[in-house]
Amino acid sequence: MNKLLAKKKWFGALLASMMLVMMAGEASAHGERAQLASMRMRTVHWFDTKVEPLNVKVGDIVTVTGKLVTSEWWPNQLASIEDTVFLNIGVPGPAFLRLDSEVNGVPMMRSTAFPFGKVYEYKTVIRARVAGRYHVHPILNVKDAGALVDKGTWVEVAENDSAAPFVNEYTTMPGDTINLETYALGGVYTWHLIWIAMGVAYIVFWLVRKELFIPRFIRIRSVGNDRANELMTKRDFVGGSIFFTLTLAIILGGYLWAENKYPITIPLQTGKVEVPPIDVPTGDLEIVVDSATYKLAGRSLTMNLTLTNNNKSPIRLAEFLTANIRFMNPEVNEGEIYEGEEMVAKAGLTASVNTIAPGKTVKVELVASDALWEQYRMTGMINDPDSRFAGLIFYYDDNGERYFQEVGGSILPEFF
Ligand SMILES: [Cu+2]
């Protein structure tokens, strides 16, 4: 018997440590790898993500800017971003304060809705609160669908010189200056202690009776449910009533205390804000996706496209973006890479035709291939029940003007 018990304990410890290891593994992925390949390809195309500066001290400001396009190929089974969405920053723990954020110039402290196929330029200002090294991600919380995460950028937060405690001061509407790090903490502690004392007292009251749940349960079983009332003595009844009355009195007292201490309050605000969407800046390039295949062994996505250049200027195919991975065409060599930016395949895109002359229609084979497909678990794409892909194609005209538009469609896996 003892041996079995020991074995069980050992197994429990093993299971617990395995779970810890698994959680630690997840923590370094934060969603850039963990989410379904189809969800990353066909929900939101994040790009131009810029986090700066990358080295700060506690109390310093970090700005996260970037753009996103909501996909026209949004999966049917997923709740829509056209309903309710909230822009935030994804970091493990409360390491930063979110001070300000805006989308297309509109303040974004509340939720909004993003119609499909439009461009949204966002800016979020955060302040470093706790020293450490953080993978900072822009994140969209879509109602009923969950979090959609952009790739992360490492930010190093050092202790500030004075090593003074972090202060987060605000002036309230009535004009008091408060430090949100410590504000009303005394009240929080006191009320927790009161309720813990009540709970302990209640358990002690029943312990003193020496008959807790199991002996009572056994007795009810032996005397039958009809005589269950006999188990309740007068002392039990009086004690229980006192606890009941006391609980209600404390709740009422707490309410009156809070009303007296904080006479002016407003409820948490939950309204929705409207954002004017920006149209995708297509540069008169007509794109028809003829077919697309995904080669498992080659870790590459091949798109066969028919492109018609209706622009007056020649067009250069520079980049393909999907699942936050940038595949850049080294022949064209355009598109900025930001400091600390990850998930860039600098020579990841090859085009059978790099430049399309004005007025011409050409068949182009675009191949996006890199080990990043494997690294970011894009191979999971073949397990998709609807086998579709989407991404953004970036191209430039003669003046160096950048355009982009979304492509998407069915995709067939190729195993050999
Ligand atoms: Cu991350």
Per the rule left: phi > 0, alpha: psi between -120 and 50, beta: everything else, 142 is beta
Mean pLDDT in residue range 278-299: 91
Q: Give residues with Cβ within 8 angstroms of 140, minimum separation 6.
A: 44, 68, 81, 85, 86, 87, 88, 147, 148
The CA distance from 82 to 69, in Å, is 12
Ligand 1 centroid from CA 28, angstroms = 6
- Higher-pLDDT residue of 380 and 404 is 404
Ligand 1 centroid from CA 388, angstroms = 25
Ligand 1 centroid from CA 134, angstroms = 8
Beta carbons of 172 and 71 less than 8 angstroms apart: no
Q: Which residues partner with 408 through β-bridges?
A: 390
Ligand 1 centroid from CA 304, angstroms = 33
pLDDT per residue over 144-175, tens digit each? 999 999 999 999 999 988 877 888 999 998 89
pLDDT per residue over 355-377, tens digit each? 999 999 999 999 999 988 888 88
Three-state secondary structure call for residue 215: helix
Ligand 1 centroid from CA 27, angstroms = 8
Beta carbons of 107 and 114 less than 8 angstroms apart: no
**How confident is residue 380, by pLDDT bands cut at 50, 70 and 90?**
confident
Neighbours of 279 (CB within 10 A): 8
Quick check: 31 pLDDT over 70?
no
Token pair belonging to 140: 């969209």
Q: How many residues does the chain have?
A: 416
The CA distance from 275 to 48, in Å, is 20
Token pair belonging to 249: 């009195």
Residue 112 DSSP symbol? B
pLDDT per residue over 302-319, tens digit each? 999 999 999 999 999 999
pLDDT of residue 114: 96
Distances in whole angstroms, Cα of residue 204 to Cα of each of 131, 181, 239, 320: 43, 36, 11, 67
Q: Which helix (H) or strand (E) holds 237?
A: helix 234-261
The CA distance from 56 to 50, in Å, is 15
Identity at 135, one-letter amino acid code: H
pLDDT of residue 194: 97
Mean pLDDT in residue range 115-136: 96
Quick check: 29 pLDDT over 60?
no
pLDDT of residue 105: 95
Q: Which of 178-182, 233-237, 377-381 has the highest mean pLDDT?
A: 178-182
Quick check: 407 pLDDT over 50?
yes
Q: What percent of the chain has pLDDT over 70?
A: 92
Mean pLDDT in residue range 283-295: 94
The CA distance from 60 to 54, in Å, is 11
Ligand 1 centroid from CA 136, angstroms = 7
Ligand 1 centroid from CA 150, angstroms = 9
The CA distance from 55 to 61, in Å, is 10
Beta strands (DSSP E) in 201-262 are none
Beta strands (DSSP E) in 39-84 are 44-52, 55-57, 61-70
Residue 184 DSSP symbol? T
Three-state secondary structure call for residue 116: coil
Mean pLDDT in residue range 70-78: 93
pLDDT of residue 332: 93
Ligand 1 centroid from CA 93, angstroms = 13
Ligand 1 centroid from CA 220, angstroms = 56
pLDDT of residue 391: 96
Ligand 1 centroid from CA 26, angstroms = 9
- Answer positive or negative: Cα dihedral of 287, 363, 298, 292: positive
pLDDT of residue 208: 82
Ligand 1 centroid from CA 39, angstroms = 17
Ligand 1 centroid from CA 48, angstroms = 17
Q: What is the secondary structure of 351-414 as a DSSP string?
A: ES-SEE-TT-EEEEEEEEE-THHHHTTGGGGGG-SS-EEEEEEEEE-TT--EEEEEEEEE-EEE
pLDDT of residue 26: 40
Ligand 1 centroid from CA 382, angstroms = 24
Ligand 1 centroid from CA 30, angstroms = 4
pLDDT of residue 28: 52
The CA distance from 271 to 269, in Å, is 6
Token pair belonging to 135: 């993978």
User: What residues sit around ligand 1, an ion, with C-beta below 5 angstroms?
Assistant: 30, 135, 152
Ligand 1 centroid from CA 95, angstroms = 14
pLDDT of residue 210: 66
Token pair belonging to 51: 């986090």
Ligand 1 centroid from CA 272, angstroms = 29
Average pLDDT over the chain, rounded to an integer? 88
pLDDT per residue over 336-355, tens digit each? 999 999 999 999 999 999 99
Phi/psi at 279 (nearest 5 deg)?
-70, 150
pLDDT per residue over 103-112, tens digit each? 999 999 899 9
Residue that the structure tokens 């990850």 belong to? 342
Ligand 1 centroid from CA 105, angstroms = 27
pLDDT of residue 13: 52
Ligand 1 centroid from CA 32, angstroms = 6
Beta carbons of 354 and 329 less than 8 angstroms apart: yes
Quick check: 19 pLDDT over 60?
no
Beta carbons of 379 and 68 less than 8 angstroms apart: no
Neighbours of 332 (CB within 10 A): 18
The CA distance from 113 to 235, in Å, is 60
pLDDT of residue 379: 77
Quick check: 255 pLDDT over 90?
yes
